[in-house]
Each structure stands twice: as C-alpha cells, then as structure tokens.
A and B are shown apart, each in its own frame.
Chain A
Amino acid sequence: MTMIQALRSAMDIMLERDDNVVIFGQDVGYFGGVFRVTEGLQAKYGKTRVFDAPISEGGIVGAAVGMGAYGLRPVVEIQFADYFYPATDQIVSEAARLRYRSAGEFIAPLTIRMPSGGGIYGGQTHSQSPEALFTHVSGLRTVMPSNPYDAKGLLIASIECDDPVIFLEPKRLYNGPFDGHHDQPVTPWSKHRLGNVPDGYYTVPLESASIFRPGSDLTVLAYGTMVFVSEVAARESGIDAEIIDLRSLWPVDIDTIVTSVKKTGRCVVLHEATLTSGFGAELTALVQEHCFYHLEAPIERVAGWDTPYPHAHEWAYFPSPQRVARAYRKVMEGSGIQAGSEEA
C-alpha cells in the first residue's frame, strides 16, 4: 500500500469497528480529500459518518470537541498543516485541556490529521512542519509516521486513544520513501518493505519509537521525511548510524533514545521544521539531561533554516542528505572512524 492507502485502510477499519467514529473536513466527503486519503469512505459509510465541512479550521476542531464531549470519536482533516492556525484556540485551550479542567468528566478523543512538510513545491503555505507548536502543549499527543505500515498502525492507535492526537502526515512520503535526492525518481511504496501493509486491524503503539536502522557509530533522532534522508546519508557517508524513527513525538519514547545514545555516545537530531525552538531543541536537551556523561561529542542538529518555507529555493532549504552527512562526520571527528568522502 501507499501511505495514502494505508491511512484510508486505517479509517475504513475504524469506521467499521466503531459506530462512534466520524470523519469530516474540507473536501473529505464526496471527493475524498485533496490527497484522496478518504476516497470512497463516504460512499461506503454514508454522509453522516464521513462528510464535508466548511472552510473553517476553528469550526472543524470546535465541532469535533463538542462531538467528543457527546461521546463520538471524531477524525478530522486539516487540509494542510499550514492551515491549522485558525483552530489554535480550539486545539490548545479546549481539546488539550478539557480532560484536565473538567477533572476527567469530559474528554476530547479527537484525531486531527494534517498533511505536513515540504518537498512538493508548495511554498510557505503548503510546506510547514508545525510539530513543535503542538509538542509544547500539555495534553496533546503528536504523532508523525514515516511509512505506510506505521501510518496505518499509528492512525488506528490514535483514533482509539482517549487523548487528542495531532497526526502529522509527511505528504512527500505519501507515495514513496523520498530520501532527499530530489533529482532522482522515488521508489514507489509497492517496491519497499514498509509498503507491505496488512489489510486487517493492527496498531503501532503510541509513545514507541522504532529503531529504523541499527548502527554503532552514532544515534540519529529523526521522524517523518528525515528518516529516509538520514538513511541515505548513512549509506553515502559510510557512517554506521543508528536511526531512531521517533513516530510519536510527544510523549516521546525516551527509553529507546537513551539506550541508543548511551551505546553510541554520539547524537544527531534532524527535522525539516525550522531550527530555532524546534522539536530538536527539546530532543537535544533530553539527550543532554539523560546521557551527558556518555556523550563523546557535542550533539548536532540539522533542520530547516529559520526562514519561511521558500518556493523556488526549496532544495536549498530542505535538509539534504549532504547536510546530514556533514553533521554525521562532524560528530564523528576525532573518533578514528574513516568516514566516506561525499561532499555537499
């Protein structure tokens, strides 16, 4: 399956299993969404389970909070993560805090899906990665899959979760494991092991990272698009990176991170979002707090530049395999390991 098909399969299964699951958002009903993730679901489950919403992100999330209070389990789509800002009050002040402020009397078991990230020539309003704006909020869970198998299992787990979940979908990965080499064709998911997705129900637990590539030289903390970029950078640099795909950003699987960094003694943190106050800052601080005496070198961060996401200069902005490999080499300096000669 592609990631689109895997996400659709997850929603199909949950609509089938739980009468309280409803799906709505802009263009998600009859048309099936601009990325076609909900295609066919309205025809199968009817207009009261899967329906279109007005262009009002605040209204979509606000209505979902009310539905959650009633006892439904809404799965809403924000068409692009770049469009969630009008819903900020409903996400931050309402969904995230409802359980707390009512001492558990009302909950907001929402899943808010948002295609995120760049690499599609979307410019500054179709390319953002706003995960740090969510990980900073008490009461939210923030999830970002990197592949079809995880996407399906994580989406089912998110829908079943009683906490509000921000589910970020790296849209550049919808159709294949894009590795940052934008001048080369992308392998379709049908030819990748992680495109092998079971038809039936399964979950990938929240708060659990995966060791995407075991290695011994350094630990890479990555998620979404950067997982495949970090993999190709390891191959091209000849550095044996242990790549951790966080999958759940917050609450994060701290044990997997700490175990790996204590083993390798080196750490590179990656994300596509802008650098400053990005989620990488939190990850860097966590590694410092938990692993300081195991570190052999300063932690390196590679991220998007602190500019709005550009249009024509997309590939100068995007953290390339070359930039990632440079960071690998930097943290390996003085280690005696002979790294490959790839230069940016």
Chain B
Amino acid sequence: MTQHTPLRLHVPEPSGRPGHATDFSYLRLAPAGAVRKPPLDTPAIDTTDLAYTLIRVLDDEGNAIGPWADPIPPELLRKGLQAMIKTRIYDARMMIAQRQKKMSFYMLSLGEEAIGTAQILALAKGDMCFPSYRQQNLLIAQGVPLVEMMCQLLSNDQDRLKGRQLPVMYSSREAGFFSISGNLATQFVQAVGWAMASAIKGDTKIASAWIGDGATAAADFQTALTFAHVYQAPVILNVINNQWAISTFQALAGGEATTFAARGIGSGIASLRVDGNDFLAVHAVSRWAAERARSNLGPTLIEWVTYRAGPHSTSDDPSKYRPADDWARFPLGDPIERLKQHLISIGAWSEDEHHRTQKEIEREVIAAQKQAESHGTLATGQTSSVATMFEDVYKDMPWHLRRQRQQLGV
C-alpha cells in the first residue's frame, strides 16, 4: 500500500510583498506583434491559443507592429491620449478633494486609463456599458461634463443621483453608462440580458460588460458567461486584470497558472488576452469584438492585463501588502507614456504639446471643480432636499412612504 504524506492546503501567494520585489514572470507576456489575428467569424474554440498569450501592438520603442496594428487615424489617438490625461488629472484632484473631506470616498483608475478610453472610442452611440467602479474614463472620453461627474462625487444639490449613491457610482443613460451597483459582478449578467434584449428586438446595439479579476470569482461572472454563450448575446465581456482586489492578489481569484481569458474558452466564448496598457491593442481588440458582436457572431471575452497603480480606494493602503515600487517595475508600463511615445514617433504629438495639454486640462479640471463645489460638497451639507430620499423607491409613492416622510417632517 502506498504511503501518503499528510495533505496540505494550498493558499496562493503573490511573488512580491513589502520588502521584496515582485517576480512578474507569472504574467505570461508575449512580444509585441507576435500574436495572430483570427477572422471575425472564428469559432470560439479556435481562440484557445489567444486566451493564454498576450496581444500587443506597441513595442518598446513605440512602434505599432503585427496583425493587430490597425490603421487608426492619429486624430483618434490624440483624442484618446487627451482623455487619458484628463482622467489622470481628474483622479488626482478628486483624490485630494476626498482627503479634504469634500466627498466621503474616491477610487482612482491610475494605470488603467487606456482600457475604457480605447474601448469607448471603438463602440457606437447607443451601445450600453455595464461598468464596474473604475471606468470613469468611459464617461470622460465621451466628453461628459466634469462638473456633472463631480457633483455626483460631492453629493451636492446638483447631483443627478440625489445623494443616493457613493461617490463614483455614476449613472448616465445618455452616455451609455449603466448605473453602478457597488455589488460586484451583478452587472455582468445584466449586460448579457441587455444584449439579449437588443437581439430580441432586432436592434443593432451591443452591450459591454466590465468586471475586475477579483469579482470573476463571484457566481454572476460564470452565469454571465453561460447566458452569453447559450444565447450568443451581442456583448463584450471585459475582465480587467489589474492584479489586485483590495489586498488579494489575482491568484486568489483563480488566476494562478492559468488566465482569466481561459474561463471564456471553457464556456464556449471567443476569448482573447490583451495588453491593457497598450492603447492601440485595446482599440483594435475592442473593435474586433464589437464588430463580431454587431455581426451577430456572438460574445467575446477579453482579459485586459494591467496594474492597479493606486490604492483600491481612498480607504485602502497598498503599502501594507505589496511592494511600494511595484508599478514602476510592472513590465507593461504606463499607458499614457506608451501612447505618447507612439504618437511622437509618428510625428503626431510632441513633448511640448503634451506639456501644454496637461496644463490646459489641469486648468479645465480646476475650473470644473470650482464650479461643482459652488453647488456644495458633502462637508457643506448643501445636498438635495431630504424629501427626495423617499422618492423613486417606487414609481408612485405608496402610503407608507408618504407617512414616513411626514414623520420625518420633510
């Protein structure tokens, strides 16, 4: 009889912790330009290799190379760069405003700016995004007024959501931005339902679902994949693998020795793994997936490999659980620097223009903040009237809420 040693429970651990540097070899990188581009109607199973590699367009010198290097008009790239810069400056200012207690909470998208920005520029008006909480760039890249966004953050009397939602839980039907729940993963299956509705009605619109690596462990993620596959829903299923879910490393969500894109393959969904800090790759792959969905060829799951450069939220301190210099050592770099390098190399941008743009946007953000704060902040208590607390629970206010409103005396 075979003698067995006692069993041991495996609990994944990141390769780096405070005090010792991360070994990023776990990332399964591939050289820029090395990964093939399949035909739009490729069967899901034929994308298996693409779920375990990394689609990249920009090389280390900023050249766009390989089959995914779509001809993109420089004007669109410039627009993308400006939107990313705006997102970063907006984030930095709002982070400070939170520290000044003008809002209760904030979440930065530092390091992840390329993904939402490039994708929204590859979608069409009328498409609907079901975002998670770090996709403010979907709004900013569309030119949604910063004042409107800030009023939500400040919970002031111009907050369209009447102070009902935590800061960053935006909602904008007009901008194709579904109300953010704050409950993770629920939106993923809702996006599939929205896409099913579009197909039921014979519409041409598609949905785009957003989730982080951590929340893929929630049941709604796998449910969404099942529904998307079963009904061949016209939806893009975006997984942002930024390596960290608060303090838990992506291996704890199931990323160890496999990829998040691989989850799609087992579900019968075309799946691609992409450099999320490469604006050109994000745009090209998003366009491919959008076109596939819009051509009634079904869903695509995309894992975007990136890095959450900031804290999870203003309530988090990442220096407690990961090396302080992790982002600087992250092999896929900074998405803004990489697109800037590319634009300069094709003669469509310059250091001077970059500097000037940053200054202009800073002025714009500061002016917007000043205007937004003139409508109040959480600290000033200039909020929507308390009576609105009882509205929109139902379409029409039932007797018990009218009674409770009277009891509160508002």
Contacts and interface: CB of A to CB of B under 8 A. Distances in A.
Partners in one complex: yes
Interface of A: 22, 48-49, 53-54, 56, 58-59, 62-67, 69-72, 86, 89-90, 93-94, 98-107, 138-139, 141, 161-163, 207, 251, 254
B399 A89 contact: no
B123 to A, nearest CB: 16
A319 to B, nearest CB: 27
11 contacts: A22-B197, A48-B200, A58-B223, A63-B190, A63-B193, A64-B193, A66-B193, A69-B194, A99-B394, A100-B392, A207-B398
Contacts of A251: 394, 398-400
B79 interface: no
Contacts of A65: 186, 190, 193
Interface in B168-210: 169, 171-173, 178-179, 181, 183, 186, 189-201, 207
A209 B314 CA distance: 50
B357 interface: no
Contact of B197 (A56, A70, A161): A70
Contact of B399 (A53, A69, A105, A254): A254
Interface in B393-410: 393-395, 398-400
Given A102-B179, A105-B173, A106-B178, A62 B190 contact: yes
Contacts of A58: 189, 219-220, 223
A98 B194 CA distance: 14
A207 B196 CA distance: 32
Nearest to A140: B394
Given A67-B194, A70-B194, A94 B183 contact: yes
A162 B190 contact: no
B194 A66 contact: yes
Contact-size category for B: 35 or more
Given A62-B189, A62-B190, A72 B197 contact: yes
B190 A94 contact: yes
Contact of B160 (A22, A99, A103): A103
B186 to A, nearest CB: 5
Nearest to A55: B226
B193 A67 contact: yes
A251 B399 CA distance: 8
A64 B196 CA distance: 9
A47 to B, nearest CB: 10
B130 interface: yes
A94 B395 CA distance: 16
Contact of B165 (A86, A94, A101): A101
B183 A89 contact: yes
Given A62-B223, A251-B399, A100 B178 contact: no
Contact of A103 (B171, B196, B200, B219): B171
Nearest to A22: B200
A139 to B, nearest CB: 5
B89 interface: no
Contact of B181 (A101, A139, A161): A101
B230 A54 contact: yes
B172 A105 contact: yes
Interface string B234-270: 0000000000000000000000000000000000000
B29 interface: no
Contacts of B130: 66
B162 interface: yes
B227 interface: yes
Contact of B179 (A22, A98, A163): A98
B394 A139 contact: yes
Given A64-B193, A207-B398, A56 B226 contact: yes
B20 interface: no
Nearest to A255: B399
B183 to A, nearest CB: 5
B372 interface: no
B171 A101 contact: yes
B164 interface: yes
Contacts of A67: 193-194, 196-197, 200
B230 A62 contact: no
Contacts of A103: 160-162, 164, 171, 392
Contacts of B186: 62, 65, 89-90, 93-94
A83 B222 CA distance: 19
Contact of B189 (A63, A72, A139): A63
Contacts of B164: 100-101, 103
Contacts of A162: 395
A243 B171 CA distance: 46
Contacts of B128: 69-70
Contacts of A64: 193
B224 interface: yes
A62 B171 contact: no
B162 A69 contact: no
A66 B393 contact: no
A220 to B, nearest CB: 22
A107 B171 CA distance: 12
B194 A105 contact: no
Rank and list the top 6 A-B pairs by shortest CB-CB distance, nearest first.
A66-B193, A63-B193, A62-B189, A70-B197, A66-B190, A251-B398
Contacts of B181: 93-94, 101
Nearest to A96: B393
A54 B196 CA distance: 14
Contacts of A101: 161, 164-165, 169, 171, 179, 181
B162 A56 contact: no
B227 A54 contact: yes
A69 B190 contact: yes
